[in-house]
Amino acid sequence: MSDERKGFFQSRSGLVLLGFLVIAGYFLWTEHRAHVVAGLSYLPYLLLLACPLMHLFHGGHHHGGHKHDKHREDEDAP
């Protein structure tokens, strides 16, 4: 007997799960298509809103981790 192992999506349970996900995705798309398409019109505004929120939670600009004081010391040197 060979000990060759099949991947999950090549097994019977994997194929059943894949079929279920395809059918569920089809019904989700057909029932909610109008909401998804209408929501796409708000996408540019959501992206603009995401910018200040990212700065608020991310902590602002860090400019690659270099210190600004080091540049001033180099300029003051003769």
DSSP state letters, 3-61: -PPPPGGGSHHHHHHHHHHHHHHHHHHHHHHHHHHHHGGGHHHHHHHHHHHHHHHHTS-
pLDDT tens for each residue of 17-67 = 999 999 999 999 999 998 888 888 888 898 898 888 888 887 656 655 555
| Residue 71 banded pLDDT, cuts 50, 70, 90 | low
What is the structure's pLDDT at 10?
Answer: 83
Question: What is residue 67's three-state secondary structure?
Answer: coil
Task: List the structure tokens of 68.
Answer: 């600004």
- The domain limits of the chain are 9-60
Which pTM does this prediction carry? Answer: 0.44
Closest CA to 52 of 60, 41, 44: 60
